[in-house]
Structures are given as C-alpha cells and as structure tokens.
C-alpha cells in the first residue's frame, strides 16, 4: 500500500497537531491516504509493549511516520517490520531525545530528569511548560503554545509519565541502521527540544538517507509550516516510493 501513510503523534499532544499536515498532503495528492493513529494508552515504559500495541493495530506494507516520540516509535516499528514497511518519515524526531556519550546533540540528561521530576510533582504546570518548549522559536510562541494546550487530549498522569520515561530511554539509531527502506528525517532549525545539529549528526550516521532542515521553525513546525513539510514529504514519497 504505497499510497498509504500512517502518522504517529508526539508525547501528550494527541493527533490535532498533525491534522494540518495531513490535510496539506491530501491536497497535494488525492490518491495518497494519510491517517493519524493515536499513540497507545499504556502505563508501561517498555518499548516492546508500545511496539506490540502499534504492530497489532497498524496495517502492514504502509509508509510509517511520526512527530517527535511518534517518529521514534515509527522508526522502531519500521525496523521490526523490515520489508513489510514501505518507508519511514520522521519529523522533529531525535534518534535519542537525551544526550548519550556518543550522541551529544540532544537534551542534557539533567534537564530531562528535572522535567520528569517536575511532571511527577506538578503535571499540569509542567505540561504547560512543555507546550511552551514545543513553540519556542515560533513567530508567535505563546499563541502556538495555547493552541497546542487547547487541543491536547485529557490523559491520566500515569500514562503521560510512562510515555515520558519511554522518550528518555529510546535510542533508535540501531533501528534506523537496520531498516533498509527509504527514510526521510526533517528537523526544525529553531527547535527548543531537539537541537538542529541533530540533523547533521544523523546524516553523518546514515549518509544514504534523506535529511532535511526547515531553518526558521520550532518543534511544532507541523502547525507552523504544514505546506512546506507536505511538499518535502510528497517529493520523497514519489521519488523513492515508486522505484
């Protein structure tokens, strides 16, 4: 089903931020089926549990994509499926969200641990701070943060905390190296959560994949630049998906 793209959302924000991009993609290609799949509702931080849930829900032989955490999970699922996945698209999705000895282009561990502690103690105010980080670098960051907050689904703090812990544990570099299908990874130049330098680091790791950077854009560039993103994705799908 090379005419079908399934997109996974980021942590806590639900499917709404992906809807403008999906609409833009459909406008460019009437034959492309674009669907947004909510992340699993789990209290587990074990990646295998999340992948099992997604693998049992999503159809085989489609393009997989996602924003931030959704892109990391799509990467792992693409590697698990191998030839049963047409290709991979990730958006503002760092292969490792937190710094590692061999991956410094990420959020410092101390910052991330403080964020987890803050969320455990005060989930509402910490989630509001997260929305501000998502919109940092936007033309109107506070308005964009309010838009994200207003559309975010109500979720149990335990579920959100599990997803947050998963985000800190994931390192999808082995998955990206394992998956032999076409890959497109797009980063945002003014991202407050994923350093723009991650784009160059990923290209150095995987020189044969497509890596793009939208310079003047924040982490929530799905809402800032949906048409620019859609154009890049459409070119990728047609150039590499119809071989």
| Active site members | 68, 191, 219
What is the C-alpha separation between 189 and 208, in angstroms, rounded? Answer: 21
Q: What's the alpha-carbon Rg for the chain, to the nearest Å?
A: 16
What is the C-alpha separation between 90 and 21, in angstroms, rounded? Answer: 13
Compute φ and ψ for 144, nearest 5 degrees. Answer: -70, -40
C-alpha 241: how far from its chain's center?
Answer: 20
What is the C-alpha separation between 28 and 173, in angstroms, rounded? Answer: 31
Name every residue whose Cβ is closer than 8 Å to that of residue 75 and which is 6 or more positions away in sequence: 88, 90, 93, 95, 172, 175, 176, 179
Comparing CA positions, the residue from 105, 38, 96 lying closest to residue 72 is 96
């Amino acid at each position: 089903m090379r005419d079908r793209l399934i997109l996974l959302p980021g942590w806590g924000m639900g499917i709404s931020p992906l809807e403008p991009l999906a609409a833009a993609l459909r406008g460019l290609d009437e034959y492309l089926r674009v669907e947004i799949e909510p992340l699993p509702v789990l209290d587990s931080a074990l990646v295998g549990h999340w992948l099992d849930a997604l693998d049992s829900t999503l159809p085989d032989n489609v393009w997989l994509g996602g924003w931030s955490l959704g892109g990391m999970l799509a990467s792992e699922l693409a590697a698990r499926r191998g030839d049963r996945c047409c290709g991979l698209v990730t958006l503002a999705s760092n292969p490792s969200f937190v710094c590692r000895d061999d991956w410094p282009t990420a959020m410092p561990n101390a910052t991330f641990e403080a964020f987890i502690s803050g969320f455990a103690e005060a989930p509402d105010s910490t989630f509001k701070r997260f929305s501000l980080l998502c919109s940092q670098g936007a033309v109107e960051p506070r308005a964009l943060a309010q838009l994200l907050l207003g559309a975010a689904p109500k979720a149990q703090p335990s579920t959100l905390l599990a997803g947050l812990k998963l985000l800190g544990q994931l390192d999808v570099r082995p998955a990206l190296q394992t998956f032999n299908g076409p890959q497109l990874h797009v980063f945002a130049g003014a991202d407050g959560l994923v350093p723009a330098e991650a784009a160059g680091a990923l290209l150095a790791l995987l020189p044969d994949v497509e890596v793009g950077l939208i310079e003047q854009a924040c982490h929530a560039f799905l809402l800032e630049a949906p048409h620019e993103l859609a154009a890049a994705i459409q070119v990728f799908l047609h150039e590499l998906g119809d071989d």
